[in-house]
Amino acid sequence: MNYLYLGKRLVIAFLSLLVVSSVVFAMTMALPGSAAEIILGTQQTEQSVQQVREEMGLDRPLSERYVDFVIGVFTLDFGDSLISDQPVTEMLIPRLIRTLQLAVVAMLLSIVLAIPMGVIAAAKRDTLSDTAITNVSYVGVSLPSFVSASLLLLFFTTGPLGIFPSGGYEPLSEGFIPWVRHLALPAIALNFVVFAYVLRQTRSSMIETLESDYIRTARLKGLAERSVLARHALRNGLLPTVTVLAINFGWMMGSVVIVEEIFSYPGMGRLIVQAIAERDLPVIQAGILVPTAAFVFANLLADVVYTVLDPRIELGEK
């Protein structure tokens, strides 16, 4: 494993989080309205708004609040909610666990379905199977998450096919079947686009690998096609797919807001929407930064997988 390469990637990850945290702080400070005005409602006066702002610490200098914010980001201390006065971390953890469950199940669906289908399409290039699989990927790419989520909600929660609940969440401790039933439709909706991109990337990279010289040599030696695929082509052919999976995991963490709203799924997305409506700045900041950190971590994990699959890799070669 190339430890120098991984060390550089760690530094890049740290700097990425620092830059994003600064952007998030600036954007949330620029939001119109304030939590103090929302709390006071129609009873507000200039004096009462100023008093609530002082109690919340919103009257402190921006530079001081920024330093505290950045320290909090890297120590996982996002402060207290301006509305409920609860520690933000305590509010986030249960919702983050639910959102991660949703994203991981959706990602596993992509891995289990899209990669084998992409390999089959590449191995049977320009055949009926390849055409059918490619058309399936076109459908996936053309369906935004809110469309696929709405269609799934329409067809599989009512009528003769209504075997799934229309929303909500059941913890795994209440039983595996109820947990799966509540998670299935949101995970499938979140998976549609990712599935299509992973399938297309796998097919493309496998076709390129199967046309390389060392694969031709393996075939000339009389190796069976299955052996050529499994022992020689897959390792290199799936390398670009690793990056696509990492990038799309970050995309899932961002787009989960729409899916959670449609299915009334009590995860990070619904918490962020509520926090924006209430101008709850600490919750908004944490709600944006946590998916960003998940995206950075997913890319870092992809780098580790890269170095394992191809020890020759250097910074900037991907």
Per residue in 216-244, pLDDT (tens digit) is 888 788 777 777 777 778 777 888 888 78
- Domain locations in the chain? 89-309
Angle, nearest 10°, between helix axes 239-262 and 145-156?
60
Q: Which residues of the chain, if any, have pLDDT below 50?
A: 315-318
Tokens standing for 265? Answer: 């799924």
Q: What is the C-alpha separation between 2 and 22, in angstroms, rounded?
A: 31
The gap from C-alpha 140 to its chain's centroid, in whole angstroms, comes to 17
CB 313 within 8 A of CB 7: no
CB 124 within 8 A of CB 208: no
- DSSP 3-state assignment of 282? helix
Residues 6 or more apart whose CB falls under 8 angstroms from that of 31 comprise: 279, 281, 284
Q: What is the C-alpha separation between 260 and 291, in angstroms, rounded?
A: 14
Q: What is the C-alpha separation between 176 and 244, in angstroms, rounded?
A: 30
Whole-number CA gyration radius for the chain: 24
- For residue 87, the 8-state DSSP code is B
Question: What pTM does this model have?
Answer: 0.76
Reported as a single tens digit per residue, the pLDDT across 244-289 is: 887 788 778 777 888 888 998 998 888 888 888 877 888 888 888 8
- DSSP 3-state assignment of 30? coil
Which stretches of 73-209 are assigned E, i.e. beta strand? none
**pLDDT recorded at residue 53:** 67
Q: What's the Cα-to-Cα distance from 61 to each of 29, 37, 231, 286, rounded to whole Å?
A: 12, 19, 61, 20
Residues 6 or more apart whose CB falls under 8 angstroms from that of 247 comprise: 295, 298, 299
CB 236 within 8 A of CB 122: no
Tokens standing for 178? Answer: 């109820």
Tokens standing for 20? Answer: 């994003």
Q: What is the C-alpha separation between 146 and 252, in angstroms, rounded?
A: 13
Closest CA to 33 of 62, 58, 60, 69: 58
Give me the CATH code for the 89-309 domain, please: 1.10.3720.10
Residues 6 or more apart whose CB falls under 8 angstroms from that of 11 comprise: none
Q: What is the C-alpha separation between 193 and 241, in angstroms, rounded?
A: 15
Q: What is the C-alpha separation between 267 and 171, in angstroms, rounded?
A: 12
- In a 13 Å sphere around the CA of 2, the CA atoms on its Cβ side amount to 20
Q: What is the C-alpha separation between 212 and 224, in angstroms, rounded?
A: 17
